[in-house]
């Protein structure tokens, strides 16, 4: 089944403790993105990747890092999480630059 898999689905952590949210897709898509969703703010793009080793900042990249060492994986790294990063995070992939994204099931992160 074609899908984008994120882990974990839920995560509660403490301020400053480094964490990684994994994202993997099995569709051989070149384009991958991370979004965060907050009430009243819709979906905001954090980082974007056009291919292996090619990444670009989205609208809200501060406090986040990404890497794309393999085509299928695009992990999101929070090196020092803060409470304002409490949010619902989605990874998405597409075979096209800017449309037709397939989203993962989401990761609900709480930073206390």
Partner 1 sequence: GQQVMQIPQYQHVQEGEDFTTYCNSSTTLSNIQWYKQRPGGHPVFLIQLVKSGEVKKQKRLTFQFGEAKKNSSLHITATQTTDVGTYFCAGPAAGNKLTFGGGTRVLVKP
Assess 43 for contact with partner 1 (CB under 8 A): yes
Taking the complex as a whole, the smallest distance from the CB of residue 67 to partner 1 amounts, in Å, to 18
* Residue 58 or 63 with smaller CB distance to partner 1: 58
CA distance readout (Å), 31 to 37, 72, 84, 101, 110: 19, 10, 27, 9, 27
Count Cβ neighbours within 10 Å for each residue of 15-43 and write b for 16 or more, e otherwise.
eeeebebebbbeeebbbbbbbbeeeeeee
Of 18-26, 62-70, 71-79, 90-98, which segment contacts partner 1 by CB under 8 A? Answer: 90-98
Q: Which residues bind partner 1 (CB under 8 A)?
A: 31, 33, 35, 40-45, 48, 50, 56, 58-59, 90, 92, 97-106
């Amino acid at each position: 089944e074609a899908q984008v898999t994120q882990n974990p689905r839920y995560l509660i952590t403490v301020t400053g403790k480094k964490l990684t949210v994994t994202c993997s897709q099995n569709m051989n898509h070149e384009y991958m993105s991370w979004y965060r969703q907050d009430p009243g703010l819709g979906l905001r793009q954090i980082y974007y990747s056009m291919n292996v080793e090619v990444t670009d900042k989205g609208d809200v990249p501060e406090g986040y890092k990404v890497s794309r060492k393999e085509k299928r994986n695009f992990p999101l790294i929070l090196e020092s999480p803060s409470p304002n990063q409490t949010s619902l995070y989605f990874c998405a992939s597409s075979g096209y630059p800017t449309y037709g994204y397939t989203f993962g099931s989401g990761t609900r992160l709480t930073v206390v």
